[in-house]
Chains A and B, each alone.
Chain A
Amino acid sequence: MQVPAPFEYERATSVDHAIGLLERLGSTARLIAGGHSLLPMMKLRLANFDYLIDINDLHGELGYIETGPDEVRIGALTRHRELLESTQLAAAFPIFADAERVIADPVVRNRGTLGGSLCQADPSEDLSAVCTTLDARCVIRGPGGAERVVSMEEFHVGPYETAVADGEMLIEVRLPVRPGCGSAYEKVERRAGDWAVVSAGAAVWLDGGTIVDARVGLAAVGPNTTGIPEISAALRGREPSESLFEQAGAIAAASCDPVTDQRGSVDYKRHLAAELTRRTLRRAVERARS
């Protein structure tokens, strides 16, 4: 049994209670949601915090998936499993179910949350890549109920670093809904439940035969999950074709920034960035058409 260093623990009874505690305790405190990223780090003593504020009792307040005509809103405490099982979400953005099927295992998915995933800001985090692909907006609440909304690019400021300041928390993720959308996610892992060697998400918005907009998000190939604006620029206004996907793949390979590690070499990861970009674009287009 690996044991963490001593800490104090309190269960928050409301979002404002949690924020109040965060404000008072400053950088020595952390929220604990599913705990599947935080607790392993604490047990390995890679992270030590004096205070943990448990927000799991706020699931009633922060665990929801609301699909509207312009926007899908997902509460920060929505569990992986709820994202996997939501038919509404799958209808709007099948990329979520694609991704959730390859995130960790059922035990982790029963507890781990969307908010925890984004706030962990791990460069390999699959949901961050999904949210990047879908151009998500993150709603951050601070003391006194003040809320600000930031894009994914603004939200992730570096590996394991986010725009959420001391005394703030992420409460909701908003996904803009536009017509003609298809989306898909694919991951290469060494073993089921392992973190990605590389994974890619793609979303396309078609109008008739033309790509109105397209986005690709990659995980595990840079300091944060990467959106690639050049791909969007190259695809907009074009008709989907294998050669176009090739071109997008080439851009993905060139613009990502992987490192060699136990999961694979730089060359292999660039190759995967291209391969998975092609595959997910192909599937996203198929889905947009059907």
Chain B
Amino acid sequence: MTTVHERADTFHDNDQKPVGYGRMLRKEDPRFLRGRGRYVDDVQLPGMLHLAILRAPVAHARIVSIDTSAAEASPGVRAVVTGAMLAQQGLAWMPTLSNDVQAVLATDKVRFQGQEVAFVVADDRYAARDALELIDVEYDALDPVIDARRALAPDAPLIRDDLEGKTNNHCFDWETGDEAATEAVFARADVVVSQDLVYPRVHPAPMETCGAVADFDAVDGKLRLWSTTQAPHAHRTLYAIVAGIPEHKIQVIAPDIGGGFGNKVPIYPGYVCAIVASIVTGKPVKWMEDRSENLISTGFARDYIMRGEIAATRDGRILGIRTNVLADHGAFNGTAAPVKYPAGFFGVFTGSYDIEAAYCRMTAVYTNKAPGGVAYACSFRITEAVYLVERIVDCLADELGMDPAELRLKNFIQPEQFPYTTKTGWVYDSGNYEPTMRLAMDMAGYAELRREQEEKRARGELMGIGIAFFTEAVGAGPRKNMDILGLGMADGCELRVHPTGKAVVRLSVQSQGQGHETTFAQIVAEEIGIPPADIEVLHGDTDNTPFGLGTYGSRSTPVSGAAAALVARKVRDKARIIASGMLEVSVADLEWEKGAFHVKGDPGTSVTIQDIAMRAHGAGDLPEGIEGGLEAQICYNPSNLTYPHGAYICVVDIDPGTAQVKVRRFIAVDDCGTRINPMIIEGQVHGGLTDGVGMALMEMIAFDEDGNCLGASLMDYLIPTSLEVPDWETGFTVTPSPHHPIGAKGVGESATVGSPPAIVNAVVDALKPFGVRHADMPLTPSRVWDAMRGQARPPI
């Protein structure tokens, strides 16, 4: 464990790149900064047509009739397709990633506002869009189910009458932990605190919306699909299963992707429509959804209505945590999580604390809202879990009259307890929480902040200090228990070193902005000593990369990062044998020093990896049994998840007259194990923290009682700008993962997971003089003002 306070002021320029880990500018940035990125919407193919989707204007209605004749006659229109037509081909429904089905185009009913009803293919995007206005759909309105709390009422309208024998809106039940043991610790606890919490529905809102270009060649039977996907290989397999096209005849290409955040994990009806349209018209077809379509119809996140309960001794020893959750999954269950984990990794709701018992019971329901329950920068529902535990720990501190930092410090799992099995069965690989927490407190000047707060309170000023300490579970996952629709979550990786000592590494994961092209080049560089600039990183094209499950849930470095390190070691092992031949010594007499082998005790007698590469491809004999070439391939199956942790402290000021919240400071100390490129880690943290400010203070996909989505544009669905966020103060500790080949843990979502509770805790802390113990997100000025007047209300 090293504890270092981060200084970000020395950036290496591209001429001084480290050969391995360290701070360096991103290899991919020149093309993004110069506008030379190539996104799905940049794909232009000869004769390409454009597709636009007609969407349901209402949340719940039976389709009486659809008249497409006027649209078909509209100039430039090549085809108009309805659900009935797809049904004839058996393509009207498709499986979701969680073993439910979802309509590609509605046949019987529409089940949420924005659902896909028909599509038009036309010569250009304008003609396609204009023709949508000419499709005449007659609807027979049905009562919608909007409030998840009413979904299981006996008189609630039935949403999923497409499912055989379904008589209610129940989606699934799930439980974890030990109910009786938890009951027992609650019964003997001095103090029990219970709090209702809502984590409202939010949306990933990536800058690039979803879309695809499908190009089906009827002669060779090959489908090429450029699409906004975070998981090209998994998508290819699913298309093969759904559309019946042989898998070797499908090439899925995820080019540059303008942000994913989980939004681009599912397969959306639009992708399938584009494929169908290309098959039907014999032309390449592009579909790009617009901003409103993205917001109203694609994978949302959260939407958990939770009751949290915590039991403790009077002196602040936490005994047990219990929770009851009502999960709103929308009209179809599109959760993208390993199938055996319908609630994702919510089971880590016991947080970073050594407790005696825990129990969770969850019920998920269908409602007339956009489908999903999908991840969104949430590490499979850990966002909700961490919010729950970090909020109720604060409620407990309030009840006990204890400082929230002290309470946390008192209950942390201790370093010698790792690997630590939680009361819900998760095996935390490594952790050392107290130094991380202490570093954050030092950076914040915690004691001084509390003094300042006391003075301000005396003057009637509202200042709050909020803490969140999180442990994440990322890097799904071990194939023994984690798969998505039967596909194990292991990742392949392939490395080839060219004769001149340059290399190409092919990944199964796919970047949406995380900086894979740099991080993975650095991982390989660290292992074989070829500079990152000399390593091409290929990803996102299923014809050119090995199989793997993609980038989401912070899994790239834990899974594919391990694969990249191991494949490089495999190449290095071969290089060692070739070097022994070149230097005419035994393998055991060679010493590796990043980039070269030398004879032990004789550093002057050495060969570089570049020399070895040339020999591997060149003339002359190689050692006995060694094939030419210098390349390797592996598939890495993680033995466990990795468990990064972090301590976040937020300071807010609230204007007592207007109730506006200003985030004054935010201290984030992250421990993601071995740090490959600190600049990229900081970038991930900065983005996640900004996201957290959005969720805590302004973001929410709201619906009116008829099921109209009230967040259908970025004017209504607010995302934060640089003006809402402070200068982030980041720090780190390093507790390597014991089972990961390079000790790295994921970090992509840590900040999104950890920051909302820190901010909410800070706001609630500021409002303490008003007797406030809890207020739900989003903490808009109006809602904060309600809380100040003792009228805090859930947002739904």
Residues on A facing B (Cβ under 8 Å) = 1-3, 5-6, 40, 44-45, 105, 188, 190-195, 197, 262-265, 268-269, 271-272, 275-276, 279
21 pairs, CB–CB < 8 Å, chain A vs chain B: A1-B288, A6-B126, A40-B715, A188-B658, A188-B660, A188-B781, A190-B697, A190-B718, A190-B780, A192-B723, A193-B723, A194-B718, A195-B715, A197-B781, A262-B716, A265-B782, A265-B786, A268-B659, A268-B782, A271-B785, A279-B657
Knowing that A194-B715, A194-B718 are A-B contacts, what are 16 other residue pairs whose CB atoms are under 8 Å apart, sorted by A's residue number? A1-B290, A3-B125, A5-B130, A5-B133, A6-B126, A40-B715, A44-B713, A190-B780, A191-B721, A193-B723, A197-B781, A262-B702, A264-B780, A265-B786, A275-B658, A276-B658
| Nearest CB on A from B701, distance (A) | 11
Q: Are A6 and B130 in contact (CB under 8 A)?
A: yes
| Interface residue B291 (Cβ < 8 Å from any Cβ of A) | yes
Cβ of A265: which chain B residues have Cβ within 8 Å of it? 782, 786
- Which residue from A1, A192, A195 sits with its C-beta under 8 Å from B125? A1
Cβ of A1: which chain B residues have Cβ within 8 Å of it? 41, 125, 288, 290
| Nearest CB on A from B124, distance (A) | 9
| Nearest CB on B from A145, distance (A) | 38
Q: How far is the CA of A184 from the CA of B715 in the complex (A)?
A: 26
| Nearest CB on A from B359, distance (A) | 36
Q: Are B781 and A268 in contact (CB under 8 A)?
A: yes
| Interface residue B292 (Cβ < 8 Å from any Cβ of A) | yes
Map CB proximity to A onto B676-704 as digits: 1 under 8 Å, 0 otherwise. Answer: 00000000000000000000011000100
Q: How far is the CA of A1 from the CA of B128 in the complex (A)?
A: 13
Cβ of A2: which chain B residues have Cβ within 8 Å of it? 290-292
- Which residue from B126, B133, B292, B710 sits with its C-beta under 8 Å from A44? B292
Q: Are B713 and A3 in contact (CB under 8 A)?
A: no
Which of B657, B710, B723: most chain A CB closer than 10 A?
B657
Q: How far is the CA of A97 from the CA of B260 in the complex (A)?
A: 39
Cβ of B658: which chain A residues have Cβ within 8 Å of it? 188, 272, 275-276
| Interface residue B457 (Cβ < 8 Å from any Cβ of A) | no
Residues on B facing A (Cβ under 8 Å) = 41, 125-126, 129-130, 133, 288, 290-292, 657-660, 697-698, 702, 710, 713, 715-716, 718, 720-721, 723-724, 780-782, 785-786
- Name the residue of chain B whose CB is nearest to the CB of A266: B782
Q: Are B781 and A264 in contact (CB under 8 A)?
A: yes
Q: A2-B291, A44-B292 are in contact. Are A263 and B720 (CB under 8 A)?
A: no
Which of A194, A268, A271, A272: most chain B CB closer than 10 A?
A268
| Nearest CB on B from A108, distance (A) | 12
Q: How far is the CA of A193 from the CA of B718 in the complex (A)?
A: 10
Q: Are B713 and A192 in contact (CB under 8 A)?
A: no
Cβ of A263: which chain B residues have Cβ within 8 Å of it? 780, 782
Cβ of B126: which chain A residues have Cβ within 8 Å of it? 3, 6
Q: How far is the CA of A193 from the CA of B715 in the complex (A)?
A: 9
Q: How far is the CA of A276 from the CA of B658 in the complex (A)?
A: 8
Cβ of B715: which chain A residues have Cβ within 8 Å of it? 40, 194-195
- Name the residue of chain B whose CB is nearest to the CB of A191: B718
Which of A105, A190, A276: most chain B CB closer than 10 A?
A190
Give the tally of cross-chain contacts (CB within 8 A): 67
- Name the residue of chain B whose CB is nearest to the CB of A260: B782
Cβ of B785: which chain A residues have Cβ within 8 Å of it? 264, 268, 271
Q: How far is the CA of A101 from the CA of B504 in the complex (A)?
A: 50
Cβ of A45: which chain B residues have Cβ within 8 Å of it? 133
| Nearest CB on A from B792, distance (A) | 12
| Nearest CB on A from B658, distance (A) | 5
* Chain A interface helix/strand/loop/mixed: loop
Q: How far is the CA of A108 from the CA of B239 in the complex (A)?
A: 43
- Name the residue of chain B whose CB is nearest to the CB of A195: B715
Q: Which 7 A-B pairs have the closest CB atoms?
A: A264-B782, A192-B723, A268-B782, A2-B290, A275-B657, A191-B718, A268-B785
Cβ of A190: which chain B residues have Cβ within 8 Å of it? 697-698, 718, 780-781
Which of A5, A193, A264, A276: most chain B CB closer than 10 A?
A264
Q: Are B782 and A191 in contact (CB under 8 A)?
A: no
Q: How far is the CA of A6 from the CA of B288 in the complex (A)?
A: 19
Cβ of A194: which chain B residues have Cβ within 8 Å of it? 715, 718
Cβ of A105: which chain B residues have Cβ within 8 Å of it? 721
Q: Are B782 and A197 in contact (CB under 8 A)?
A: yes
Q: How far is the CA of A194 from the CA of B723 in the complex (A)?
A: 12
| Nearest CB on B from A49, distance (A) | 15
Q: How far is the CA of A191 from the CA of B292 in the complex (A)?
A: 20
Cβ of B786: which chain A residues have Cβ within 8 Å of it? 265, 268
Cβ of B130: which chain A residues have Cβ within 8 Å of it? 5-6
Q: How far is the CA of A244 from the CA of B130 in the complex (A)?
A: 57
Q: How far is the CA of A40 from the CA of B658 in the complex (A)?
A: 30
Cβ of A6: which chain B residues have Cβ within 8 Å of it? 126, 130
Q: How far is the CA of A263 from the CA of B292 in the complex (A)?
A: 19
Q: Are B720 and A191 in contact (CB under 8 A)?
A: yes
- Name the residue of chain B whose CB is nearest to the CB of A276: B658
Q: Are B129 and A3 in contact (CB under 8 A)?
A: yes
Cβ of B716: which chain A residues have Cβ within 8 Å of it? 262
- Name the residue of chain A whose CB is nearest to the CB of B710: A262
Q: How far is the CA of A197 from the CA of B698 in the complex (A)?
A: 13
Cβ of B698: which chain A residues have Cβ within 8 Å of it? 190-191
| Nearest CB on B from A48, distance (A) | 10
Which of B291, B713, B715, B781: most chain A CB closer than 10 A?
B781
| Nearest CB on B from A262, distance (A) | 6
- Name the residue of chain B whose CB is nearest to the CB of A272: B658
- Name the residue of chain A whose CB is nearest to the CB of B132: A45
Cβ of A3: which chain B residues have Cβ within 8 Å of it? 125-126, 129, 290
- Name the residue of chain A whose CB is nearest to the CB of B713: A44
Q: How far is the CA of A26 from the CA of B594 in the complex (A)?
A: 77
Cβ of A279: which chain B residues have Cβ within 8 Å of it? 657
| Nearest CB on A from B120, distance (A) | 13
| Nearest CB on A from B54, distance (A) | 13
Cβ of B720: which chain A residues have Cβ within 8 Å of it? 191
Cβ of A275: which chain B residues have Cβ within 8 Å of it? 657-658
Q: How far is the CA of A268 from the CA of B715 in the complex (A)?
A: 21
Cβ of A197: which chain B residues have Cβ within 8 Å of it? 781-782
- Name the residue of chain B whose CB is nearest to the CB of A264: B782
Which of B130, B720, B721, B785: most chain A CB closer than 10 A?
B785
Q: A1-B125, A3-B125, A275-B658 are in contact. Are A193 and B721 (CB under 8 A)?
A: yes
- Name the residue of chain A whose CB is nearest to the CB of B290: A2
Cβ of B133: which chain A residues have Cβ within 8 Å of it? 5, 45
Q: Are A192 and B292 in contact (CB under 8 A)?
A: no
Q: How far is the CA of A192 from the CA of B428 in the complex (A)?
A: 41
Cβ of A271: which chain B residues have Cβ within 8 Å of it? 785
Cβ of B780: which chain A residues have Cβ within 8 Å of it? 190, 263-264
Q: How far is the CA of A125 from the CA of B685 in the complex (A)?
A: 36
| Nearest CB on B from A65, distance (A) | 27
Q: How far is the CA of A1 from the CA of B702 in the complex (A)?
A: 23
Q: How far is the CA of A3 from the CA of B713 in the complex (A)?
A: 14
- Name the residue of chain A whose CB is nearest to the CB of B718: A191
Q: How far is the CA of A47 from the CA of B126 in the complex (A)?
A: 16
Q: How far is the CA of A5 from the CA of B125 in the complex (A)?
A: 11
Q: How far is the CA of A279 from the CA of B657 in the complex (A)?
A: 10
Q: How far is the CA of A1 from the CA of B52 in the complex (A)?
A: 11
Q: How far is the CA of A264 from the CA of B720 in the complex (A)?
A: 18
Cβ of B702: which chain A residues have Cβ within 8 Å of it? 262
Cβ of A269: which chain B residues have Cβ within 8 Å of it? 782
